[in-house]
Amino acid sequence: MKPSRRSLWSWLTWRMIALAIAATAAVQAGMWVRYSYWESKIDAQLPPGVADELRRLENGPKSAEVSKRLSELYTQYGDRFVTPSDSEDLLVQMLLSLSITPFVALFGLLLARRIVEPVSDVATAAESVSMGRFSARAPVLHSAPAELQRLANHFNSMAERLEAYDRELQDSSAAIAHELRTPLTAAMGRLQGIVDEVFPLDEKQIRTVLDQLGQINRIIGDLQVLSLAQGGRLQLEMTEFDLHGFVDERLSWALPSLQERGMTAANHVSRRETVRADRGRLGQVVSALIDNAVRYASDGGVVEIDCRADASTLELIVRDRGKSASVDDVSRFFERFWRSERSRSRYAGGTGLGLSVVQAICQAHGGEAKAAARPGGGLEIRICLPRDQGLRRAIG
């Protein structure tokens, strides 16, 4: 059933008009019945044939002879034509109005119920949400006015988002505890081993502990970025810089990891392209995407970075040729702490925060990140930034 498109104003107005017309028509019908009864009573008092003659003359064409005959009949039987008085008509109208009042009141109550019921449903659901039951939903009555349908739909959307936030908070709390506990336990175990002289106190052991502490530091940093971005408090230091050189710089930083996995990198960004953005944050985005390709797409052997721009949008594109991702995987790439099934290990899977940080930084710039599987295998991630945020193409 399609939802109603009638506004509350028109929905209520037409019903009130219909109610007024129905009440007036009922009173007029009652008066017509009264006069019909009065005429039939007079006809019953007249001699046979006189009543028919009288009605025929009254409803037929008028002439001098007809007027004369009517005058004779009125004079002869005038004492039987007792016309109701004004007071009697007023009394009958009042009685008719009183008899119709219960029906008008009943219709008004039904009308009010049709309006109040959707609002009461939303109020009941809101009370449940206020007590922490975020699964509560208000029914959408398709027979209700459009405004009340929108009220229920918007409330349900709000409740769904609150439920998702609550579920994400619970999942994130458990995930954060797990992600922090693992490297912390490893670092403490290594230090305890050094204290107990199980491991020697040398540079290799210290570097192992530092690696675990660095993992904790990265998790805390990512969580801080996500928290600031979600609250709209992520500060950006906007500067203009050469995009091709910027990508070269990030690729050079990632060169050891690329070489370790036997991968090559290609920078296809135009040398004329410049961007106005937070260089550090955008660098964090590009490095995270390169790292993502190194972790998941090393079998493809290549990472390519390209750029497309028009008058309104600039897109920085990172492509690889790894294994094809499923539609479900692609749709969940930017969720916090999510890892695809094939990369559950910490070595391959990271913390599961990298791509969510990428999305948060893009949104702080007024843009977004999009992921799509490539034909023939591999992944393409687009960093879409609006030109009205200060991006522009260099001239010459």
Q: What does 199-211 look like in DSSP terms, one character per residue? A: S--SHHHHHHHHH
- End position of a domain, from candidates 199, 230, 261: 230
Kindly state whether residue 158 falls inside one of the protein's structural domains. Answer: no
Measure CA of the first residue to CA of the last residue in the chain; give whole Å.
Answer: 59
Q: What angle do CA 303, 309, 310 make, to 5 degrees?
A: 160
Is residue 151 in a domain?
A: no
- Mean pLDDT for 345-360 is 68
**Whole-number CA gyration radius for the chain:** 42
| Residue corresponding to tokens 């390209």 | 306
pLDDT band at 393 (very low <50, low <70, confident <90, very high): very low
% of residues, the chain, pLDDT over 70: 83
Map residue 115 onto helix, strand or coil. Answer: helix
pLDDT tens readout for residues 91-135:
777 877 777 777 777 777 777 777 778 888 888 888 888 888 888
Query: Model confidence over 216-272: pLDDT tens digits?
Result: 888 888 888 888 887 788 888 998 899 999 999 999 999 998 999 999 999 999 988
Look at residue 77 in the predicted model and tell me its pLDDT: 67
Asked if residue 223 and residue 249 are part of one domain, the reply reads no
**Percentage of the chain modeled with pLDDT above 90:** 16
Q: Are residues 216 and 333 in the same domain?
A: no
- Is 2 inside any structural domain? no
In 61-202, which residue ranges form alpha helices assigned H by DSSP?
64-76, 86-130, 146-195
pLDDT in tens, 193-206: 889 888 888 888 88
pLDDT confidence of residue 11: 66
- What is the helix (H) or strand (E) element at residue 257, kind and residue range? helix 255-260
Do 101 and 181 sit in the same domain of this protein? no
Separation CA 341–CA 336 (nearest Å): 15
pLDDT score of 7? 67
Helix then strand then coil, % of the chain, to nearest 5: 65, 10, 25
Region 349-358: mean pLDDT is 74
Q: Count structural domains, the chain.
A: 3
Contacts of 31-40 with CB under 8 Å at 24 or more apart are 31/89, 31/92, 31/93, 31/96, 34/84, 34/92, 35/84, 38/84
In this prediction, residues 79-84 reach a mean pLDDT of 59
Rounded distance between C-alpha atoms, residue 268 and residue 245, angstroms: 11
Mean pLDDT, all residues of the chain: 80
Q: Is 131 helix (H, G, I), strand (E, B) or coil?
A: coil
Do 82 and 174 belong together in one domain?
Answer: no
> Sign (positive/negative) of CA torsion 279, 282, 288, 292?
negative
pLDDT for res 98? 78
Residue 3 in any domain: the answer is no
Among 83, 116, 146, identify where a domain stops.
146
Same domain, 192 and 326: no
Residues 305 and 173 in one domain: no
DSSP 3-state assignment of 352? coil
pTM over 0.75: no
- Residue span of the structural domain in which 195 resides: 165-230
Same domain, 48 and 83: yes
- Whether 272 is in a domain gets the answer yes
Q: What is the per-residue pLDDT for 281? A: 92
Using the structure block, give the residue that is written with the tokens 């200060």: 390
Structure confidence at residue 305 (pLDDT) = 94
Q: Is the pLDDT of residue 372 over 80?
A: yes
Q: Please report the pLDDT score of residue 292 as a whole number.
A: 86
Predicted confidence band of residue 86 (pLDDT cuts 50, 70, 90): low
State the average pLDDT over residues 14-32: 79
Q: How many CB atoms lie within 10 A of CB 65?
A: 9
Assigned domain for 222 exists:
yes
Answer yes or no: do 380 and 247 share one domain: yes
Q: What is the pLDDT of residue 337?
A: 67
CA distance 364 to 278: 10
Domain holding 289: CATH number?
3.30.565.10
